[in-house]
Amino acid sequence: MISNGIQEAVVSTFDIDRLAIPLEQACGYRRVALPDADPDQWTAWSVPSSCTRIEQALLVPDDGATKLGSLRLVKFHGVEQKVMRSSQRTWDTGGIFDVDMFSADVDAVYRRLQRHGWTAFGEPVDYSEAHFSVRQVVAVGPDGLVLAIIQRYEPPVEGLAADGALSPVFNSTQMVADFDAAMQFYGDILGFKLRVEFTVEDVVEPGADVLGLPLPQAKSARRKLAMFKPHGPGEGGVELIENMDMRGRRCDTDCVAPNVGILSLRFEVDDAPAYASQIVERGGTLLVAPMAMTLAPFGDVTIFSVRSPEGAIIEFYSR
């Protein structure tokens, strides 16, 4: 039903340029000008009537001819806003925590981001997890945008730029308080395929540096982790992490438009109304039923959305 991986992540921002410039200059993404969002977008996101426009721009990876794995930056004008995962720690739950990209040189791209005022939950670090061997940094920018930048040693990723420019978005992490409910939502309700599931125990890495867990908790805290992907080509999709021994704030209620942060993940599907019906038949609830919309630059689409048990908005559309 889902033809590819993540088509785009929608990021709400106070200032499009403030996010777009480092994504262009440090990460190798290319900005595509877009018209303001279709008026029907107000309905799909339940935007207050006081909103005067939804300004937007598409940031696509340099090899993104299909614009797969892009970032859509949106700015809501004329409304009160707050940051979705305000002052976040990695053990706070709710909404969408990050978007993940590959890089051939994690250190180079992170140092470039630092010149734009970005920081991270920890310095770039090597670690092994399940069947992966990687170097990674979880970089933190303005407006709650978090990028997990991954240099994978084994299995290697082909076709990456030597200067560290980022790949398309291939995955996105959600920090959850109820792992079983999240597993049931993505596996049974949405029908995503479980790629890997395991528990990190008695291991400082990757927690101490990658996720910024304080010592000694970084060694003792158990973390459940699972990765799901849509059926179809591509390797990424959604990653779930539950920190079983450290509990933070729940940010669910704030992870909606017009607030600022990672607003939604979008997937293209073959037939949006048919897939929506399947989700309902499996016991799921639609956040927004299938509706017609013009979605630049893709043209006329039918789009619907669901919301995870902890507030992550997932949108599906067909052209």
- Over residues 181-209, the pLDDT tens digits come to 999 999 999 999 999 998 888 877 655 55
- 147 in Cβ contact with 125 (< 8 Å): no
* Preceding omega of 290 cis (within 30 degrees of 0): no
CATH of domain 98-243: 3.10.180.10
pLDDT at 205: 61
Least confident of 30-39, 153-162, 288-297: 153-162
Phi, psi of 53, deg, nearest 5: -165, 155
Cα distance between residue 276 and residue 189, in whole Å: 10
Say whether 279 sits in a helix, a strand or coil. Answer: helix
Least confident of 81-85, 122-126, 210-214, 291-295: 210-214
Question: What is the percent of the chain where pLDDT is above 90?
Answer: 80
Strands 119-120 and 132-140: antiparallel
Average pLDDT over residues 261-279: 96
Q: Is the pLDDT of residue 259 over 60?
A: yes
Task: For residue range 35-83, list pLDDT tens digits in order.
Answer: 999 999 999 999 999 999 999 999 999 766 678 999 999 999 999 999 9
Task: Kindly give the interhelix angle for 16-25 and 106-115, rounded to the nearest 10 degrees.
Answer: 140
Average pLDDT over residues 229-249: 86
Nearest to 67 by CA among 27, 4, 8, 147: 8
pLDDT at 155: 83
Q: Environment class of residue 121 by beta-carbon count within 10 Å: exposed (0-12), middle (13-18) or buried (19+)?
A: buried
Identical fold, 8-82+267-318 and 98-243 = yes
Mean pLDDT of the chain: 93
Flag whether the pTM goes above 0.75: yes
Average pLDDT over residues 169-179: 97
Average pLDDT over residues 257-279: 97
Q: Is the pLDDT of residue 263 over 80?
A: yes
- Selected from 3.30.420.40, 1.10.290.10, 1.10.260.40, 3.10.180.10, the CATH number assigned to the domain covering 8-82+267-318 reads 3.10.180.10
Cα distance between residue 267 and residue 278, in whole Å: 16
Residue 108 tokens read as: 């180079």
Domain locations in the chain as residue ranges: 8-82+267-318, 98-243
Rounded CA Rg of the chain: 18
Place 3 in a pLDDT band, splitting at 50, 70 and 90.
low
Taking CA atoms, 40 is separated from 79, 188, 293, in Å, by: 17, 30, 6
Question: Count of residues for the chain?
Answer: 319
pLDDT at 295: 97
Task: For residue range 95-107, list pLDDT tens digits in order.
Answer: 999 999 999 999 9
pLDDT at 4: 76
